[in-house]
Amino acid sequence: MVSNRCKMAVKQELRNLGLHFIVVDLGEVEIMETISMAKREVLKANLLHSGLELMDDKKAMLIEKIKNVIIEMVHHSDEIIKVNFSDYLSEKMNHDYTYLSNLFSEVQGTTIEHFIISHKTERIKELIIYGEHNITEIAWKMGYSSVAHLSSQFKKVTGLSPSHFKQMKDKRRSPLEEIGNLKSKD
């Protein structure tokens, strides 16, 4: 789940099945009762119909949690992380960063760093489109050391400078669930 809309869809599906949830958060659900295999299959099918997936594989769930931490940090938090992101992720996930990084690369076909850069680029596009901040403010908000660093990284990903992107009439953005996923480009 990558948005509040996804959480609402999951909550509705749980209610439809008469299940009571304790937590429905990005990437995880905790329900009060034990779910039968039949209900589990119905839930899985209904979620799939809504474009969501019920995960059983521990590695897939860990990858989803990594993605959710990144999405939360980049798209939904105004807090600037003062520590190294690898340390932040290790602490949040209770795993060694090398393990998380290798697993992510193996399963996703891209590195955690590239996934973060893709999401930061998309967030920068959003902030440019809204026009509430200038590029210096955006660089600070997104944790870049300088406007030059932001501009260089943005151009590597998009092929455009932030100022050229701002001047474009047709500003293309991607849905959150498609950002940084090589498999979605097939």
pLDDT digits (tens, 9 = 90+) for 101-112: 999 999 899 999
Per-residue pLDDT, 7:
84
In this prediction the pTM is 0.69
Angle at 185 between CA 182 and CA 186, to 5 degrees: 105
Ordered by where they begin, the domains of the chain are 1-54 (no CATH), 57-180 (1.10.10.60)
Residue 21: helix, strand or coil by DSSP? Answer: strand
Among candidates 63, 68, 55, which has minimal Cα distance to 107? Answer: 63
Whether 26 has a pLDDT exceeding 50, the answer reads yes
Among candidates 55, 47, 37, 38, which has minimal Cα distance to 14? Answer: 47
Per-residue pLDDT, 181:
64
Whether 185 has a pLDDT exceeding 60, the answer reads no
Query: What is the pLDDT averaged over residues 134-146?
Result: 92
Name residue, tokens 């001047």.
Answer: 167
pLDDT digits (tens, 9 = 90+) for 50-76: 888 776 667 888 898 899 899 888 888
Whether 138 has a pLDDT exceeding 90, the answer reads yes
Among candidates 150, 50, 57, which has minimal Cα distance to 103? Answer: 57
Query: What is the pLDDT averaged over residues 145-150?
Result: 95
> Of 63-77, 141-155, 165-179, where does the model show the most confidence?
141-155
DSSP string, 82-142: -S-HHHHHHHHHTS-HHHHHHHHHHHHSS-HHHHHHHHHHHHHHHHHHHTSS-HHHHHHHT
pLDDT digits (tens, 9 = 90+) for 87-126: 989 998 999 999 999 999 998 999 999 999 999 999 999 9
Query: What is the pLDDT averaged over residues 150-174?
Result: 87
For residue 184, what pLDDT band results from cuts at 50, 70 and 90?
A: very low
Q: Which residues, in sequence order, are bridge partners of residue 29?
A: 24
Could you tell me if 17 and 45 are in contact, meaning their C-beta atoms sit under 8 angstroms apart? no
Per-residue pLDDT, 16:
92
